[in-house]
Amino acid sequence: MGSTVKKQHYIWREYLTRWTDTGDRYKGRLYVMRKMLRGNQERIEFRELEKIGFEKYYYDVTGFQEKDKIVLQQFLSYMQRKERFELGIDPKAFSGAAEQRDYIEKQVMCSYEDIDNKWKFLDKLSNGDFSFYKDSKRQNILDNLHKCVIDTVLYQESQYSDEEIMNMVNEFFEDGLKENDLKYEFHKFFCMQYFRSPRIHDNLASNFEELKKEKDELKDLDTNFYVNMVAMYFAERMALNITMHFSTGMLLYENKTDVPFITGDTPIVNLTGTKMDKATLFHYPISPRIAVELLVTPKYSEIAKINRNVHLELEQELVTMVKSCNQKLANNCANEIYSNDSKRLNEKVF
């Protein structure tokens, strides 16, 4: 077994290379502004990626008890009581996490980063390539079958004959299950970048501590164990739900203004609040010049009919839009804000 990784990053270094001076994930440097200072840190520094975006043993959950596992499994079961597909945590993950302080860093986070390593989603988006972001054949079949059931129940009619329905079912099992669902794969990568961030971890920890105060039987549970394990579950569940139950589209902004996009320790910000009952918009800068926004709407809603992938060029007259996105992201970061331009970090409006 290799050495234990102590500096565990909550933001992917490969992602941050787009803001560095050299594009190197080890030696590349970028500007970092900190809301809170530690030791002899300066408010704004030009730092190597190795020295930012991490906490010592950030994902370490060693020391949890059997009761922690039992309550977590009960919680997951309760959360999924109405779901068609249940997600669980592999028992091997519990044993590995109990023994290795960097188990989640090596075995979980690296696997999510490998999703983009394999499919090059961020590179494709940087080049304006949306080709991967479309519903898979199996998802289209499931949607058609679902609509068929609804039409039959509500209107006693269907646009498909019995033979056509059987053909769709056969196609689902013969071809659909063999297909790589790239849209779902992107959602898995995207959702983990959202849930691994310090802001989300802090919110989960705060909510759980409040729950422990209200429930005496929970007061001795390990908050850190709960936060890390539930974050993994939420990322998987959110990716699955968005793919199956929502209509989605991508807005790609090509920034041609004199103000670059910034990013931070919480690189994805929900611009529309936490409820996903109408339209939800997630902002995610992927370089100083490119940002994407994921628009999520209920399937079959009116807005879903116009949901599609759009490429927009932001000329100088739209610089206030870039600054607004930057400001919202900066406000949402827990501590560190990153840029390729020190001037941006010295101004009150990003």
Q: For 61-95, how does the pLDDT look when each residue is reduced to its tens digit (9 = 90+)?
A: 999 999 999 999 999 999 999 887 789 888 889 99
**Which pLDDT tens digit goes with each residue over 239-290?**
999 998 899 999 999 999 999 999 999 999 999 876 666 789 999 999 999 9
Residue ranges per structural domain of the chain: 7-135+180-346, 137-177
The CA distances from residue 306 to 126, 187, 206, 285, in Å, are: 23, 20, 38, 23
The CA distances from residue 211 to 38, 96, 226, 338, in Å, are: 30, 27, 12, 34
Asked whether 336 and 53 are in contact (CB, 8 A), the reply is yes
Tens of pLDDT along the chain (350 residues) come to 469 999 999 999 999 999 999 999 989 999 999 999 999 999 999 999 999 999 999 999 999 999 999 999 999 999 999 887 789 888 889 999 999 999 999 999 999 999 999 999 999 999 999 999 998 888 877 777 667 766 666 666 777 777 776 776 777 677 656 678 999 999 999 999 999 999 999 999 999 999 999 999 999 999 999 999 999 999 999 999 999 889 999 999 999 999 999 999 999 999 987 666 678 999 999 999 999 999 999 887 777 667 689 999 999 999 999 999 999 999 999 999 999 999 989 886 67
Structure-block tokens of residue 178 = 């063999």
pTM (predicted TM-score): 0.91
